[in-house]
């Protein structure tokens, strides 16, 4: 266990980040992108509060306030000049996921899915058996871990690991909901020998970005070793353009496992 004299005052961070960036609150992603999927897939989910979403929107201001030693546990980006990039997709399995996988398969594009463990069933867990794809845990139900102590955090992650094991899903990757980093989370991940994975390019697909704006948000920000954040509900036409554009820029889309063979580059935050 690491001992860190650090208390995350989330409320202040949210207020600061919103003030600093003059951003307005928008509705939680679960209401924007997943309405149809919610009808089709019976899932228990936790609504993200407007405060949580403000944190997500002001994410880079939030990261600036997190101690470097906590951030250092996570992979944001690889330290390399090789033109490689990882595509990651959060919040599945959802009704969108099979058609998204079809788009990726058609172009032989590797991808990593970060799953909400409470959504996993005997049936949808089999979607992830395609060797083109890897996957990791993304909490049980998208809970904000900044409200949890060590024991509560450990119970959540233990439960995620149990669900993965019960469904023959093998992964040691974890991405926290909203990208929340707490000392307790880092302790649990170390205790359970789980690798923390975040991102350095947010596609902003959760923020109603579509078309040219979404494509440019990814392609204009590419750099070697990048990890791009999407969600399973991303517009698939836009995604095809992004995949083509990445290739046109001379980049290779690789698996998360391949990118993790490179050293981390965390000094960017």
Contacts with Zn ion by CB under 5 A lie at 90-91
**CB closer to Zn ion, 84 vs 87:** 87
The values of phi and psi at residue 136, to 5°, are -150, 180
Residue 5 Cβ, how far from Zn ion at the closest point, in Å?
A: 29
Contact 14, 54 (CB under 8 A): yes
> Which residue is associated with the tokens 């002001």?
58
Bin 250: left if φ > 0, else alpha if -120 < ψ < 50, else beta.
left
Residue 79 Cβ, how far from Zn ion at the closest point, in Å?
A: 26
Separation between Cα atoms, residue 85 and residue 246, nearest integer Å: 8
**CB closer to Zn ion, 90 vs 184:** 90
**CB closer to Zn ion, 104 vs 229:** 229
**CB closer to Zn ion, 91 vs 205:** 91
Separation between Cα atoms, residue 47 and residue 256, nearest integer Å: 29
Separation between Cα atoms, residue 179 and residue 175, nearest integer Å: 7
Helices (H), 58-139: 59-64, 68-71, 97-106
Residue 231 Cβ, how far from Zn ion at the closest point, in Å?
A: 7
**CB closer to Zn ion, 41 vs 84:** 41
- 84-92 vs 252-253, strand pairing mode: parallel
Residue 26 Cβ, how far from Zn ion at the closest point, in Å?
A: 15
Contact 181, 71 (CB under 8 A): yes
Angle at 220 between CA 207 and CA 81, to 5 degrees: 125
> Which residue is associated with the tokens 């403000």?
54
Residue 177 Cβ, how far from Zn ion at the closest point, in Å?
A: 5
Beta strands in the chain, from DSSP E residues, in sequence order: 74-75, 84-92, 111-115, 133-137, 173-174, 195-197, 201-202, 226-231, 252-253
Residue 34 Cβ, how far from Zn ion at the closest point, in Å?
A: 11
**CB closer to Zn ion, 184 vs 205:** 205
**CB closer to Zn ion, 1 vs 25:** 25
Residue 164 Cβ, how far from Zn ion at the closest point, in Å?
A: 17
Nearest-CB residue for Zn ion: 90
């Amino acid at each position: 266990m690491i001992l860190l004299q650090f208390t995350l005052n989330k409320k202040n961070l949210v207020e600061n980040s919103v003030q600093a960036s003059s951003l307005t609150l928008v509705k939680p992603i679960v209401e924007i992108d997943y309405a149809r999927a919610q009808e089709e897939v019976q899932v228990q989910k936790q609504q993200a509060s407007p405060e949580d979403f403000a944190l997500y929107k002001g994410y880079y201001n939030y990261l600036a306030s997190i101690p470097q030693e906590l951030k250092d546990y996570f992979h944001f980006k690889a330290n390399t000049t090789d033109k490689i990039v990882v595509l990651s997709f959060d919040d599945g399995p959802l009704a969108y996921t099979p058609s998204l996988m079809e788009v990726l398969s058609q172009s032989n594009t590797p991808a990593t899915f970060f799953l909400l463990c409470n959504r996993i069933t005997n049936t949808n867990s089999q979607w992830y058996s395609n060797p083109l794809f890897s996957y990791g845990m993304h909490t049980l139900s998208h809970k904000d871990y900044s409200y949890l102590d060590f024991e509560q955090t450990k119970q959540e992650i233990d439960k995620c690991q149990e669900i993965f094991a019960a469904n023959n899903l093998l992964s040691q990757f974890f991405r926290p909901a909203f990208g929340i980093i707490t000392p307790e989370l880092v302790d649990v991940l170390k205790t359970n020998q789980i690798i923390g994975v975040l991102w350095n390019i947010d596609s902003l697909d959760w923020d109603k970005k579509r078309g040219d704006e979404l494509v440019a948000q990814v392609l204009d920000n590419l750099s070697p070793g990048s990890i791009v954040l999407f969600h399973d509900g991303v517009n698939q036409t836009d995604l095809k353009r992004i995949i083509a554009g990445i290739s046109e820029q001379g980049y290779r889309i690789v698996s998360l496992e391949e990118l993790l063979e490179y050293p981390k580059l965390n000094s960017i935050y």
